[in-house]
């Protein structure tokens, strides 16, 4: 079978074997939950309760605060303790709702019949998805109800369900596909009904052949689905690269998937949509891989707002001294300054590293090998952009397309001279956009 892919990319060691066989475990919640008001792209949510109020599992504790916003729901029964400033996994201190947990938790959510769901009109489905606080679970956390409102001028030809999970170490999407394939497909069916595409693709990398077969085994229930096996390569799961691999169409610079008649949704988001529509269950918990240098690499079903420290303890702790904790995978994830950061809706995994793994290699001069150019999935010239940034020629870097850099880390990974290319592009992008604003 020929495997679909895109031009460029890298082949890091997958390291999936550490956690791939760890089935999703339901955990006891910690004593306190911290729900950041800002954990989606858009306007932070607004608290709706008075301090001291009793809350129930699934109850709305903050509402959407504008057009591009969603609400927050309590993942536990407990007491609403007001808001505090707390370390955010994307950096800095952010306002968070603090809930003292009452350990008597039980789930009141039961599945409705599929036939009843098929009668719900499109706009009502979108409203359910909004009311239940669903955002993109692949990391971007963009409000899903907003993304589902495709402009009438844009016809969607290809709906692509992203089960690629190309970041090394992470296996939360893999476990969802292995254990909840039918539920994921029911969620895909809802997306399909809302956006009415010509084709539906379930896209999975070749290093997850078992998940590919499991998902494919649902074909008789969901005959409209096509199953696409992709080459194992990073960043195969990035939206633009995935569209390119499956359809051969390229999203233009500064454009959106709509512009090439494509729409991408992550498998975790499809599962959250299933839960919202079939069970009436808001997004208040998610699967998180806790892996790397810990005793038992695991996939946990985690209440949103659980501190990383608590999850690391559940793995029976780190092996040796922790040197770095990453929210997400090692290539695109964000290193944490505090172990007390908490899980947000976009947290797919936590990678713990020790000192040997984080040893900084000293950069040396560029040897003009072009490895960075060959692997850049955005067809940029990292070595040239870097030179301009070093000389403080930001305009030149901008002309060369630095703003299109998706910060995938491939060039830094490939560079034999250990030049921190991606880090410089990140800084340059932020300096350029600040100047514009």
What residues make contact with ligand SF4 under the rule CB under 6 A? 366-372, 375-378, 380, 382-383, 405-411, 414-417, 419, 421-422, 425
Nearer to ligand SF4, 66 or 363 (CB): 363
- C-beta closer to ligand SF4: residue 127 or 418: 418
Cα 280 to Cα 193, 194, 273, distances in angstroms: 18, 18, 10
Nearer to ligand SF4, 84 or 369 (CB): 369
Quickly list DSSP for 303-358.
Answer: ETT-BHHHHHHHTT-BSS---EEEES-TTT-EE-S-TT-B--TT--EEEEE-TTTT
| CB of 147 vs ligand SF4, minimal distance in Å | 23
How many CB atoms are located within 10 Å of the residue 209 CB?
Answer: 11
User: What are the beta bridge partners of residue 291?
Assistant: 351
Burial (CB < 10 A; 0-12, 13-18, 19+), residue 27, is middle
Closest CB to ligand SF4 among 84 and 367?
367
Q: Residue 427 Cβ, how far from ligand SF4 at the closest point, in Å?
A: 12
CB of 246 to ligand SF4, least distance (A): 20
| Shortest distance (Å) from residue 193 CB to ligand SF4 | 35
User: Which residues does residue 123 pair with via DSSP β-bridges, in sequence order?
Assistant: none
Least Å distance, CB 409 to ligand SF4, is 6
DSSP state of 253: T
Q: Determine the angle formed by the axes of helices 421-436 and 382-390, rounding to 10 degrees.
A: 60
Q: Are 409 and 335 in contact (CB under 8 A)?
A: no
In the complex, least distance from residue 101 CB atom to ligand SF4, rounded to whole angstroms: 40
CB nearer ligand SF4, residue 74 or residue 424: 424
DSSP 293: S
* Minimum CB–partner distance for residue 404 and ligand SF4 (Å): 7
- The token pair that represents 143 in the structure block: 């409000």
CA distance 116 to 188: 16
Task: Tell me whether residue 212 or residue 386 sits nearer to ligand SF4 (CB atom).
Answer: 386
Which residue's CB is nearer to ligand SF4, number 200 or number 375?
375
């Amino acid at each position: 079978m020929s495997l679909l892919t895109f031009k460029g990319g890298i082949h890091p060691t997958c390291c999936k074997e550490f956690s791939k066989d760890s089935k999703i475990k339901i955990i006891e919640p910690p004593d306190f939950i911290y729900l950041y008001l800002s954990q989606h792209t858009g306007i932070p949510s607004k608290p709706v309760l008075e301090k001291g109020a009793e809350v129930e599992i699934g109850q709305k504790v903050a509402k959407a605060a504008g057009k591009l916003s969603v609400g927050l729901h309590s993942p536990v029964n407990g007491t609403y303790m007001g808001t505090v400033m707390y370390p955010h996994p994307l950096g800095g201190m952010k306002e968070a709702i603090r809930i003292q947990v009452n350990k008597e938790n039980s789930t009141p959510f039961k599945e409705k019949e599929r036939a009843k769901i098929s009668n719900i009109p499109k706009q009502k489905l979108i409203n359910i998805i909004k009311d239940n606080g669903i955002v993109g679970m692949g990391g971007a956390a963009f409000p899903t109800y907003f993304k589902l409102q495709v402009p009438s001028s844009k016809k969607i030809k290809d709906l692509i369900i992203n089960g690629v999970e190309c970041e090394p170490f992470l296996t939360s999407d893999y476990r969802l596909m292995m254990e909840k394939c039918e539920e994921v497909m029911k969620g895909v069916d809802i997306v399909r009904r809302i956006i009415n595409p010509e084709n539906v693709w379930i896209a999975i990398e070749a290093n997850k052949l078992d998940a590919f077969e499991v998902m494919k085994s649902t074909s008789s229930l969901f005959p409209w689905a096509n199953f696409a096996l992709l080459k194992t390569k990073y960043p195969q799961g990035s939206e633009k690269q995935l569209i390119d691999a499956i359809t051969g169409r390229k999203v233009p610079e500064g454009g959106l998937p709509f512009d090439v008649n494509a729409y991408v949704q992550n498998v975790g988001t499809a599962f959250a949509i299933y839960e919202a529509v079939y069970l009436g269950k808001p997004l208040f918990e998610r699967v998180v891989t806790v892996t790397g240098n810990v005793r038992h690499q695991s996939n946990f079903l985690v209440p949103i707002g659980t501190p990383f420290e608590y999850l690391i303890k559940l793995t029976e702790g780190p092996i040796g001294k922790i040197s770095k904790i990453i929210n997400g995978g090692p290539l695109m994830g964000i290193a944490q300054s505090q172990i007390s950061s908490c899980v947000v809706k976009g947290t797919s995994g936590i990678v713990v590293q020790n000192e040997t793994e984080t040893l900084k290699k000293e950069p040396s001069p560029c040897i003009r090998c072009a490895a960075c150019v060959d692997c850049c999935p955005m067809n940029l010239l990292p070595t040239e952009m870097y030179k301009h940034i070093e000389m403080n020629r930001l305009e030149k870097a901008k002309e060369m397309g630095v703003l299109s850099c998706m910060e995938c880390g491939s060039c830094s990974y490939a560079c034999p001279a250990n030049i921190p290319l991606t880090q410089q592009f990140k800084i340059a992008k932020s300096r350029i956009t600040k100047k514009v604003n």
